[in-house]
Structure 1
Amino acid sequence: MPLLDARSDRALLAAFRAGERQAFDELVRRHGDRLWSVALRVLRDPDDAADVVQDALLSAYRRAAGYRGEAEVSTWLHRIVVNRCIDRIRHERARPHVTLGRRHHLLHAAGDPAERTTTRLAVVDALGHLPVEQRLAVVLVDVEGYPVAEAAAILEVPVGTVKSRCARGRIRLAALLGHLREQA
């Protein structure tokens, strides 16, 4: 098993741009799981999320020379994934279809497994009812735990926009998930 590379993300990207192909592999190891997690929560399908992340990483690999260093490398990678998610959602809206048996990979939590699964499925479904802009903001800030400023950088919008999208998304989620409070 290779040793972990202690270089910063920027140093790794610079090394990759200088011809060290393994440096990009380290960036993928560092950020791949979180990129996939964001894509999964936005798209709600593991296969779609995997496709989007693969496409985004291929794009980052090819466009690394164009990285300007204005944002952190992780923010740059997340922005590419978010853009691919938006493209996928737009494409799916343009071509409606019926899907059966979608499976969702969910986070672990304490409590009764059946109740926990029911709650998670309800939350995943409710997230799917939010407008894309609100869903992206809520997923980045509330689900993935990004600071609002970093989410704003990823989404390329002002901090206030992320805050308002989260607030509106939370209000919609509260209405959609109110039945869960009644069951508690």
Structure 2
Amino acid sequence: MAERDGAQPGRSDLELLRAHAAGDRDAFTELFRRHRDRLWAVALRTIGDREEAADALQDAMLSAHRAAARFRGDSAVTTWLHRIVVNACLDRIRRRQTHATVPLPDGVHTDGEPGRHTGGPEPAAPAHDHDTALVVRQALAALPAEQRAALVLVDVQGYPVAEVAAMLGVAEGTVKSRCARGRARLAVLLGHLRTGADAPAADVPRLTSGNRRRPEGVGSSSGASRQAVSQEEP
């Protein structure tokens, strides 16, 4: 893999992890620095709150730091790190689910089948990208934790389905199913971002031009919901 500036070009992720387990005090710091940005992005988009995401990432890295000697090499080190981060986020999401509700756009409710609408007036599209980003974050937060994690990894971060399955410890078909269900739900929650019922995905405002992996197709979805999520900047 390409190393970041300042990385030790002679040592792979696995070599750094093994060096850490053998007592190298700098190896884990270098490993974390190498993957910090992507791990932070996954934590932030999965959990939806900067303070909680920072705590989850810290918990995850402490776990990885302590468990390094038990790494068996069944997957890439980066896959292993992502799995620990996602699990830390999911644990926090489950713990807080009973303590808060997420405000959703007017006319949308969460107690029925995907696609149902209360019949109230469809809200106007937000005037600014900041408002749209907030709505996207709220919609993501309304998804079940497992669907949210799958969508973040596949549609936002652009990891292949097979790699996400390894990160989450589930079958590839499960990842595809979670993504499909999540996209169907987001199509309802984010439908008001379109300018009309038949508006193409391009009508959803572009919120960021940041680089990400090219997502692997995993079945049908709403173009608007996928583009809004993949371009949402936490």
Report the TM range for the smaller structure's normalisation.
0.7 to 0.9
TM-score by length of 2: 0.68
Give SS of 2:26's match: helix
- Is the contact between residue 94 and residue 145 of structure 2 (CA under 8 Å) also seen in structure 1? no
Q: How does 1:31-180 map to 2 (within 5 A)?
A: 31-94=35-98, 96-97=99-100, 115-180=128-193
| Counterparts in 2 of 1:140 and 1:24: CA distance versus 1, 3 Å | same
Deviation string 1:1-57 (CA, Å, 9 cap, x unpaired) is x93211110111111112111110111101112111111111110000000001110
Which blocks of at least 5 consecutive residues in structure 2 are unaligned?
103-126, 197-202, 204-234
**Does residue 19 in structure 1 map to residue 32 in structure 2?**
no
Q: Counterparts of 2:128 and 2:94 in 1: how far apart (Å)?
A: 33
Structure 1 consecutive aligned stretches of length 4 or more whose deviation exceeds 4 Å: none
Q: Counterparts of 2:21 and 2:42 in 1: how far apart (Å)?
A: 26
Q: Counterparts of 1:136 and 1:97 in 2: how far apart (Å)?
A: 19
Which blocks of at least 5 consecutive residues in structure 1 are unaligned?
100-113
Map of 1:3 onto structure 2? 6
- Is the contact between residue 7 and residue 34 of structure 2 (CA under 8 Å) also seen in structure 1? no
Q: Report the Cα offset of residue 74 of structure 1.
A: 0.6
In the alignment of these two chains, the number of paired residues is 169
| Alpha-carbon RMSD | 1.9
- Equivalent position amino acid for 1:144 in 2: Q
Deviation string 1:109-128 (CA, Å, 9 cap, x unpaired) is xxxxx621122111111101
Map of 1:103 onto structure 2? none
Q: Counterparts of 1:98 and 1:46 in 2: how far apart (Å)?
A: 17
Deviation string 1:126-145 (CA, Å, 9 cap, x unpaired) is 10111111101000000111
- Equivalent position amino acid for 1:76 in 2: W
Q: Counterparts of 1:71 and 1:4 in 2: how far apart (Å)?
A: 22
Identity score, percent: 60
Map of 2:206 onto structure 1? none
Give SS of 1:182's match: coil
- Equivalent position amino acid for 1:120 in 2: A
Deviation string 1:74-97 (CA, Å, 9 cap, x unpaired) is 111111111111111121125x15
Map of 1:105 onto structure 2? none
Greater relative CO (CA pairs within 8 A, separation 6+):
1
TM-score by length of 1: 0.86
Give SS of 1:62's match: helix
